[in-house]
């Protein structure tokens, strides 16, 4: 979950039972035990009742719960029911426990990412970064990507740097859904830098509008939307070329794409 508040970006993650901070985002188990919603060690009738209560809900509904969206497509539907049915009757060696939660707060003003324990609201540690501008957790929950003034850094769940890519701007960061590429906005150069995560190298640059910021990729992985100072660039990811620019009245801040890809929602900071 990523929550924006003024110049902060907050990422909700979990802590391993040992107390060490991990970059895990989901508190349910993986595999068949992801359907053990009540964490009693088995996928049974009570889990079925809980699932039926959320069936047909979508992102944005008051009763939508991401735990029941087993294929993470933004709607709890028949495909999720098939996954649940396949898992019904599964058991684990011991009951699942809900791990503690931690809060990662990116604070460019103090050039740090602060880590807080949710239970006691105390700071656990802080990660020193020079004017961080964007961060994201990998889908396997084992890595944290951070972009700061002098480059992009990839950290493991023990906060050790696996590799870094030099850069010149602490812009927003977006990881491709397939985790093949990272897209780093460089507001000072009016471009988006494309980083091949396997090669650990910059492989392309995309010219966009003035001072690019937040970015989002459509569910079909074809288009990247970049909000600029006063317009939105639509980038064809098959060629890494801007195909369309949409004029918008106001200073833009962030953008998200609906789960089915038919709408884009953006925020205008100058109208707040």
| DSSP of 235-267 | EETTTTEEEEEEE-SS-EEEEEE-TTSS-EEEE
At 72, list the tokens. 């993470």
pTM for the whole thing? 0.65
94: confidence class by pLDDT, cuts 50, 70, 90: low
Q: What are the C-alpha distances in Å from 264 to residues 127, 132, 164, 248?
A: 33, 26, 31, 13
Domains of the chain with CATH codes: 31-87 (1.10.1330), 171-271 (2.120.10.30)
Q: Is the confidence at residue 120, as pLDDT, over 50?
A: yes
Task: Choose between 195 and 11: higher pLDDT.
Answer: 195
The per-residue pLDDT for 37 is: 83
What is the rounded average pLDDT of the residues 80-88? 91
Q: Is the confidence at residue 22, as pLDDT, over 50?
A: no
Per DSSP (E only), the strands in 67-222 are 101-107, 112-117, 123-128, 134-137, 143-148, 151-156, 161-166, 173-175, 181-186, 191-196, 201-207, 215-217
Helices (H) and strands (E) in the chain, counts: 2, 20
* Backbone torsions φ then ψ of 134, nearest 5 degrees: -165, 150
Q: Is the confidence at residue 99, as pLDDT, over 90?
A: no
Half-sphere exposure of 29 (CA within 13 A, CB side): 22
81: confidence class by pLDDT, cuts 50, 70, 90: very high
Task: Choose between 180 and 15: higher pLDDT.
Answer: 180
What is the rounded average pLDDT of the residues 35-63? 87
* Rounded Cα distance, 237 and 182, in Å: 12
pLDDT in tens, 192-210: 999 999 999 999 999 999 9
What is the rounded average pLDDT of the residues 16-33? 45
């Amino acid at each position: 979950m990523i929550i924006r508040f003024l110049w902060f970006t907050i990422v909700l993650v979990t802590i391993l039972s040992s107390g060490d901070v991990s970059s895990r985002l989901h508190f349910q188990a993986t595999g068949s035990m992801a359907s053990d919603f009540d964490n009693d060690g088995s996928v049974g009738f009570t889990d079925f009742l809980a699932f039926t209560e959320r069936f047909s809900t979508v992102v944005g509904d008051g009763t939508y719960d991401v735990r029941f969206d087993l294929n993470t497509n933004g709607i709890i539907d028949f495909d999720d029911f098939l996954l649940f049915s396949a898992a019904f009757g599964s058991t684990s060696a011991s009951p699942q426990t809900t791990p503690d939660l931690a809060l990662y707060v990116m604070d460019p003003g103090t050039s740090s990412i602060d880590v807080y324990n949710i239970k006691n609201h105390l700071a656990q540690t802080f990660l020193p970064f020079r004017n961080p501008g964007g961060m994201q957790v990998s889908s396997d929950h084992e890595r944290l990507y951070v972009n700061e003034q002098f480059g992009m850094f990839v950290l493991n769940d023990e906060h050790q740097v696996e590799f870094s890519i030099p850069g010149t701007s602490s812009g927003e960061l977006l990881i491709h859904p397939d985790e093949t590429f990272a897209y780093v906005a460089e507001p000072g150069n009016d471009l988006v830098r494309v980083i091949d995560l396997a090669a650990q190298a910059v492989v392309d640059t995309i010219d966009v509008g003035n001072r690019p910021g937040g970015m989002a990729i459509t569910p079909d992985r074809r288009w990247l939307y970049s909000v600029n100072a006063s317009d939105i660039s639509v980038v064809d990811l098959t060629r890494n070329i801007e195909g369309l620019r949409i004029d918008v009245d106001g200073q833009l801040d962030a953008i998200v794409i609906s789960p089915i890809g038919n709408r884009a929602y953006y925020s205008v900071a100058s109208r707040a």
